[in-house]
Amino acid sequence: MTMRSMIWAAGLASVTLAGCSTMGTPSREALVAEPSTCAAKRFDIYFAEDQAQLTDAARTAIGLTASQLQGCQIRTVRVLGLSSATGTADANQALSEQRAIAVAEALVAAGWPTPAFELAAAGDQGATTPSGVAEPLRRRTEVLVDAAPL
The string of pLDDT tens digits covering residues 138-150 is 889 999 999 999 8
pLDDT at 18: 46
**Domain annotation covers residue 36:** no
Query: Which 3 state secondary structure label does DSSP give 144?
Result: strand
Query: 92 is in which domain, residue-wise?
Result: 41-149
Query: Which 3 state secondary structure label does DSSP give 47?
Result: coil
68: domain CATH number is 3.30.1330.60
**Domain annotation covers residue 2:** no
**Domain annotation covers residue 32:** no
pTM tops 0.75, yes or no: no
**Domain annotation covers residue 135:** yes
Pairing of strands 117-121, 72-81: parallel
Is residue 54 within 8 A of residue 100, CB to CB? The reply is no
Residues 38-80: tens digit of each pLDDT: 999 999 999 998 999 999 999 999 999 988 898 899 999 999 9
**Domain annotation covers residue 54:** yes
Radius of gyration of the chain (CA): 25
Is residue 117 within 8 A of residue 77, CB to CB? The reply is yes
**Domain annotation covers residue 15:** no
C-alpha to C-alpha distance for 89 and 15, rounded to whole angstroms: 72
**Domain annotation covers residue 27:** no
Number of domains forming the structure of the chain: 1
Q: How confident is the model at residue 135 (pLDDT cuts 50, 70, 90)?
A: low
DSSP H/E element including 2: none
